Amino acid sequence: MSGDVVTLAIVGQDEAHLCATVDARLLGVRLHRDAVEPFLQLWEDAGAEGFDITIHSAFRDFARQLSIWNRKVAGTLPVLDSRGTPIDISTLTPRELVYAILRWSALPGASRHHWGTDLDVYDAAATPVGYELQLVPAEVDAGGMHAPLHEWLDARIASGTAYDFYRPYDADRGGVAPERWHLSYAPIATTYAQWLTPELLRTTIAGADMLLKEIVLEHLEDLYMRFVINVSQPHA
């Protein structure tokens, strides 16, 4: 891909890096083309242990991330506190609202889901029929329906046998809340993360029809440090 295409892919404005249609149909989502085979290997190994590791969300383009952001600012989607409980956003200043949203939702242009390398997973075999997946800690923590899958994934990641998938949001670093369901394909994601600079993000956001854009741009350096690059790094 050309430099311009790669730049657009990093901020979710190009799809040339994604897998072929046949693979997207198999997976039910679109992934980076280089992440497909590693995920299928992980899926096969999980199946041998009785898990049906299923992708709930993978590639998400800039327009979709912008829609999520604007709906949260407008109050038509819930904004959650660190425990996953909805917040009364009428009690927040604009700056407080920006920081509250970023605990669970990325800035448009800064979502790792733009890259097709990052995916939210669950165990379909452990999910009751008709259950609406929430992607909240109660589902994945000890005692949750998807906890056994994630305990298995923990062991695979720790032993270096997760086919280069790891958890970027494995702990609370004061930025994005822990997301045990979120996996990242390290070989590509690590490179893309290095290319997502504050300057690129500022240019992308400045040209968007984004609510609270002025607040975001005013605090962008801090937001970048706290919510974009403040993540776990894959083990060598």
State residue 115 phi and psi, 5-degree precision: -80, -15
Q: What is the pTM of this model?
A: 0.95
* Nearest CA-CA partner of 122 in 152, 87, 93, 92: 152
**Token pair for 233:** 């790094």
What pLDDT, on the 0 to 100 scale, is given for residue 236? 60
* Regions of the chain where pLDDT drops below 70: 1-3, 236
91 CB burial (10 A radius; 0-12, 13-18, 19+): exposed
Domain ranges in the chain are 3-228
Q: What is the CATH number of domain 3-228?
A: 3.30.1380.10
Rounded Cα gap, residues 213 and 206, in angstroms = 7
Which residues, listed in sequence order, are joined to residue 165 by a DSSP beta bridge? 185
What pLDDT, on the 0 to 100 scale, is given for residue 5? 76
Q: What share of the chain is helix, strand, coil (3-state, %, to 5)?
A: 50, 10, 45
Residues sharing a CB contact under 8 Å with residue 38, sequence separation 6 or more, in sequence order: 163, 164, 165, 185
What pLDDT, on the 0 to 100 scale, is given for residue 194? 96
What pLDDT, on the 0 to 100 scale, is given for residue 76? 97
For tokens 């979709």, name the residue: 64
What pLDDT, on the 0 to 100 scale, is given for residue 1? 58
What pLDDT, on the 0 to 100 scale, is given for residue 2? 58
What pLDDT, on the 0 to 100 scale, is given for residue 53? 98
Rounded Cα gap, residues 113 and 145, in angstroms = 24
Contact 140, 147 (CB under 8 A): yes
